[in-house]
Structure 1
């Protein structure tokens, strides 16, 4: 008995002492922490630093100097010019964009896809390219207007210089923003509303004025406010059309201050940047409120389909839309091309005078323009690639892990994209002018400051398609991966990434489109060796080398067109509403 008991005792396992209690973090904390940290770095930090520089110089709260700068005569004049040009151009964009949106959205006009593609392409080319194209079209001895005898006489100022030209070109340039917003609104109108009106004998004109436009009212208001915000932050058009005649808006005033006084004027420019941000923020908040009023009003079973059958007027409507595109896009680019293909200003284009010397000069001979093409490709391509990877991680984190904190993080991410680029540029200078902590190195004046600004500005654009795709993915894929023992990195790599990769690729190409010709941010962040295409084009125009600037602009437009065509080809096999021109 004693021996058996001893054997049983020896077989019992030895129980170790319990380990000391440790602090355990919630499971899955790392991904939300990463998303919040990156959002703070790219969205929160720049604007916190900007506000601190404006209202707490030297980290001592003293807002008096900022308010004095904001109330100065120069700032007040520039603010009025900004509000004037942004408001009037928004009204023009609303008129042009609204007509195009309704014509392509509710009628049976032919050629909708190429019309929409060309209309959006006119917005994808850089604002400074649009301004340069219109300047070439209406310049004295314009080769295009000379053919019909309407060219201004030699020696007369270009009629687009100043307030009127800025308003006109910005209105035409921002009209596609309005059309894209209204196309989204049209897709939210149920077809049953139109069918009920048709059963009552309503004509297409009555349906449009009594049903469609009233239902679209929140989107119309939001579209106008979006065009207003775009006008507030636009730098390229006021710079080319306003600076030569000393018509300054807030972005061009900031540029002139920094160009004249350098980093010593950062306190003043920070206050002006805050003023730009406040003006733009008012428009953004108003647009968000207008859009929110429309949510959840109707139950959609079938989206709106074209109900206006044009009949014999069909070819005339199509001709009118193509004529609008010719005036908005075709003739200005043709004038720009003519200027790039002639040997000197004022020489008429013919087979005898046609030359490709300016293209050869800017693409193969001039070191600065060749470097600008390379830099723009590298900056835009790197930003697109990094953001495509980040977008996959962020889309999963926002949709699955952040819960009630999601909206706050999204607002922080959207801040650099919503506010004017000139505000972000000033914030980046303030952050990176001094050496970074720990490493003791400053990235101011290096390519990395431009890359950081691109990442901050275009992250919201890169997130749109992946977040939409992530919302449609059922959670059972992830549950199965967890049952198989997959950890978070493995699940992201083998489950989530392959599903989101097509949407992330489309978003990356959209980022490349916008970043390739970007000027508003890089105009203040470039240094010798980091020039971008937008900066070089602006510099060539200021130096009087209009032909070389035209050659750079046409070459950049070709790159944008090729990327858009590639996107359109990819979009045929993806979701219908990923690309803005696929209505």
Structure 2
């Protein structure tokens, strides 16, 4: 998401100029394209790196039964063990993760300092590399096999499991029914409550992060001094910390933020909202900052010289250019908040259950068919939302192109 828009923003004329100067396609990519695309690659890579450091749900479901531990699950085991030194060991492990995350952030800053895209060309989605018919078919077949094995087959298996009466029975017509969906959405009230809570939390988290994260990214872009870099670092730390440790920090903080004063936030949906905004703000900062890197500072200076006010400058010039990158970051925040599990598992209370908590609860209780039914509806909703996002992006591009023409 972060990288593809950067590649499309690189002017085709630069590659043509490199070819005219005698560079091969490989050298042109290494000398011209890659340095310009490096900010998007670094931002996306760091997000993926931190996300995998902190991931709890996947290793908890797949690794724990096989006695395979990662740092996030090991920290969770230490915390729920409630031994005399459980919290001390969890804190030490969280410091290790924090140091690794800081090293990744420093590496990204180094890459961003050495590479900046100052082009304002509109996105170019037409192909730039043409393969022979044989290579093209081989590449397409490989990609489809990869997607089939890693994405489609697990989703199909999950959907099939949601239709059978009990886990382990043969998948035949006699055992197929919609009773699992009936129970999840008509009998049990928790799934719909959780879905409503998660959608509201995700939407308002996205809204706050969109405004605050974009403002922070703009300051980071305009004033790249130690203060803005330090602010970016502090927004990265909550995301880099293990979710269980971060949740415990939120509990200790909001139980009694001032000695003798309990604001009543813990045990309500508000602590989830505060935790989500704090944890996912860096995603919007990264996405917006990468978008700002695509804008030539002379564009803003030209608008100011022409007498455009602050709002006119943003509405007429900056927002049309920034919209795809900013919206990608906002969508990532929304999806992360919608499907979050680790923090929610320690902060939820009665009436504030989230989607992840309910699915996790079904699995822990052994109701796999209920969890797959709820998960199937969630996946289909996300796919529908993704299609709507692509449609909005396409309509926006057409609107911008029409105005430019």
Coarse TM-score class (shorter-chain normalised): 0.7 to 0.9
What residue is the counterpart of 1:338 in the other structure? 160
Question: How has the CA–CA distance of structure 1 residues 269 and 335 changed in structure 2, closer, same or farther, with 3 Å as cutoff?
Answer: same
1:255 aligns with one of 50, 71, 76? 76
How much has 1:412 moved relative to structure 2? 2.6
What residue is the counterpart of 2:403 in the other structure? none
How much has 1:306 moved relative to structure 2? 2.3
Question: How has the CA–CA distance of structure 1 residues 265 and 430 changed in structure 2, closer, same or farther, with 3 Å as cutoff?
Answer: farther
The answer to whether the Cα contact below 8 Å between 1:258 and 1:266 also exists between their aligned partners in 2 is yes
Aligned counterparts of 2:197 and 2:116: Cα–Cα separation in 1: 46
Aligned counterparts of 1:555 and 1:244: Cα–Cα separation in 2: 26
Aligned counterparts of 1:385 and 1:252: Cα–Cα separation in 2: 31
The answer to whether the Cα contact below 8 Å between 2:163 and 2:177 also exists between their aligned partners in 1 is yes
The answer to whether the Cα contact below 8 Å between 1:240 and 1:538 also exists between their aligned partners in 2 is no
Q: Deviations over 1:254-293 (max 9, x none)?
A: 222333429995444333322222233334434544x347
Question: How has the CA–CA distance of structure 1 residues 414 and 227 changed in structure 2, closer, same or farther, with 3 Å as cutoff?
Answer: closer
Aligned counterparts of 2:258 and 2:269: Cα–Cα separation in 1: 15
What residue is the counterpart of 2:209 in the other structure? 387
Aligned counterparts of 2:305 and 2:259: Cα–Cα separation in 1: 39
1:191 aligns with one of 8, 11, 15? 15
Indicate yes or no: 2:300 matched with 1:474. yes
SS of aligned partner of 1:280: helix
SS of aligned partner of 2:63: helix
What 5-or-longer segments of structure 2 have no aligned partner?
399-405
What residue is the counterpart of 1:269 in the other structure? 90
What residue is the counterpart of 1:529 in the other structure? 351
How much has 1:326 moved relative to structure 2? 0.7
Aligned counterparts of 2:29 and 2:222: Cα–Cα separation in 1: 36
Question: How has the CA–CA distance of structure 1 residues 478 and 369 changed in structure 2, closer, same or farther, with 3 Å as cutoff?
Answer: farther
Greater Cα radius of gyration, structure 1 or 2: 1
Q: TM-score, normalised by structure 2?
A: 0.76
Question: How has the CA–CA distance of structure 1 residues 282 and 414 changed in structure 2, closer, same or farther, with 3 Å as cutoff?
Answer: closer
What residue is the counterpart of 1:245 in the other structure? 66
1:230 aligns with one of 51, 62, 66? 51
Indicate yes or no: 2:191 matched with 1:369. yes
The answer to whether the Cα contact below 8 Å between 1:238 and 1:249 also exists between their aligned partners in 2 is yes
Question: How has the CA–CA distance of structure 1 residues 399 and 428 changed in structure 2, closer, same or farther, with 3 Å as cutoff?
Answer: same
Aligned counterparts of 1:338 and 1:329: Cα–Cα separation in 2: 14
SS of aligned partner of 1:306: coil
Aligned counterparts of 1:225 and 1:497: Cα–Cα separation in 2: 30
The answer to whether the Cα contact below 8 Å between 1:339 and 1:345 also exists between their aligned partners in 2 is yes
Aligned counterparts of 1:193 and 1:280: Cα–Cα separation in 2: 39
How much has 1:296 moved relative to structure 2? 5.8
SS of aligned partner of 1:572: helix
The answer to whether the Cα contact below 8 Å between 2:206 and 2:333 also exists between their aligned partners in 1 is yes
Aligned counterparts of 1:534 and 1:288: Cα–Cα separation in 2: 33
The answer to whether the Cα contact below 8 Å between 2:3 and 2:41 also exists between their aligned partners in 1 is no
Question: How has the CA–CA distance of structure 1 residues 264 and 229 changed in structure 2, closer, same or farther, with 3 Å as cutoff?
Answer: same
SS of aligned partner of 1:309: coil
What residue is the counterpart of 1:295 in the other structure? 115
Aligned counterparts of 1:225 and 1:399: Cα–Cα separation in 2: 18
The answer to whether the Cα contact below 8 Å between 1:469 and 1:500 also exists between their aligned partners in 2 is no
Q: Deviations over 1:89-134 (max 9, x none)?
A: xxxxxxxxxxxxxxxxxxxxxxxxxxxxxxx7xxxxxxxxxxxxxx
Q: TM-score, normalised by structure 1?
A: 0.55
Aligned Cα RMSD in Å?
4.2
Q: Deviations over 1:452-499 (max 9, x none)?
A: 1111122233345655469566364699587xxxxxxxx66x875797
Indicate yes or no: 2:268 matched with 1:425. no
How much has 1:416 moved relative to structure 2? 2.7
The answer to whether the Cα contact below 8 Å between 1:344 and 1:547 also exists between their aligned partners in 2 is yes
What residue is the counterpart of 1:558 in the other structure? 380
What residue is the counterpart of 2:334 in the other structure? 512
Question: How has the CA–CA distance of structure 1 residues 211 and 399 changed in structure 2, closer, same or farther, with 3 Å as cutoff?
Answer: closer
What 5-or-longer segments of structure 1 have no aligned partner?
1-119, 121-179, 483-490, 577-583
1:548 aligns with one of 358, 362, 370? 370
Aligned counterparts of 1:276 and 1:495: Cα–Cα separation in 2: 41
Aligned counterparts of 1:300 and 1:507: Cα–Cα separation in 2: 19
SS of aligned partner of 1:555: helix
What residue is the counterpart of 1:48 in the other structure? none
How much has 1:551 moved relative to structure 2? 1.2
